[in-house]
Amino acid sequence: MVDGILQFLKTPEWRRQVRWRRMIWNTFNRLGLTGIHALPLNRRWVDIQRRKMKMHNLDPANVGMKIVQISDLHHSPVVWQKYLVQYIRLVNDLQPDCVVVTGDLITGGYRYAHRIATILSHLHAPLGVVCTMGNHDYSMYGKSAPEEGERRADYLEKCLKARNLIVLRNQVLSIKRPGAQTPVTIVGLDDEWSGHLDANVAFKGVDPSHPIVCLNHNPVNCSELMDYPWQWMLSGHTHGRQVATSKFGRRFYPHRYRHFTHGYYAVNGRHLYVNRGLSYGQRIQDWCRPEITVFKLDHASEQDAALDAAHTV
C-alpha cells in the first residue's frame, strides 16, 4: 500500500490529481508553508509562455534562435533540489540555444551556492547558460552589511563559473549561430537593490546597431534605463505579485506599488518581459503558477517599429 501511494505521488496524472494538488498549493501558500511543493508537479501546472522576440537588425542566421528564461529559483531550506530539478529537465526538453537565469538563484547560506551551481550545470544550451544576480543573491546583508553581501555574491559567482556557467555582472556577452555575421548582444546588469547595478559600465562599448537583450532582475527601474540601447529587457523579482494595491497601501506605501508585475509590457517603444519565476513562495493565487518563458527570435518589420513607437507605458 505504501509503495502504491509513493508511486502515485511520483507520477502525477493531471486529470486525477489536479483538484487536490491545487487545494494543497493554495492552502500551504496562504499559510506560508511551502515544503509540500517538493512533491512532483504535473507539467501542465508549469506555465510555459512562448513569445516571438522581434528584433531590429537581426542577422538572418539568428532568426529562430531560442532563448529560454527562468528566474527566481530561490534554492534554500524550503525550496528543495528535487523541486527545481523537475524544471531543469523540462527546460532541456525545450531544446534552447541559450538559457538566461535572471537573478535570485538562492535564498540561503553558502552551501546553496554550490548546490544551485550543480543543478544549473545540467542545463543544455549550445550558446551558453547565462546567470545574473538578484537581491537575494546578496542575501539580507546586501544593504546593511555590504561587504558580507558582496562576499556571498562573489562566492556564488565562483561556484557558477566553476561549472562552466556564464555570469554577467554589468557585463556583456555576444552570441550567434554558425554562419551569422552580426551577433545578438546580451547585457547582464547587476543587482539594483544592493546598489551594484552600473549601466554605464555594462553598456560601455556596446554597438547600438546590434540586437540587444538586457537582463535586469528588478524591472522597477526600466524607465530609468531608456538612455541605453536595449531592445528587449528580461526581468523577474516580482513572482507576479502586486503590492500596495489597496487605497491604504497606495496612500501610505506608494514606493511599494509595482508598475510591472508579470508578462509583457511595451515601454516607450521598447519591450519588457517580467517572468514570474520558479520558486513556489508567495504565490497566493493559483493563476500565478511557476513560469518558464521561451523566446524565439524573429525580424522586426517596419510595421512593428511603427507599432512600438506608438505604445508608451
Query: What is the per-residue pLDDT for 14?
Result: 58
Sheet (strand 291-299) strand order: 47-55, 291-299, 66-70, 98-102, 129-132, 166-167
**Residue 236's pLDDT band (boundaries 50, 70, 90)?**
very high
Q: Give the three cell numbers for residue 276.
A: 514570474
Task: Write the pLDDT tens digit of every residue in 136-180.
Answer: 999 876 677 788 889 999 999 999 999 999 999 999 999 999 999
Question: Whole-model pTM?
Answer: 0.86
What is the pLDDT, as a whole number, of residue 310? 47
Q: Report all structural domains of the chain as residue ranges with CATH numbers, in order of start.
A: 1-45 (no CATH), 46-310 (3.60.21.10)
Interatomic CA distance for residues 25 and 72, integer angstroms:
18
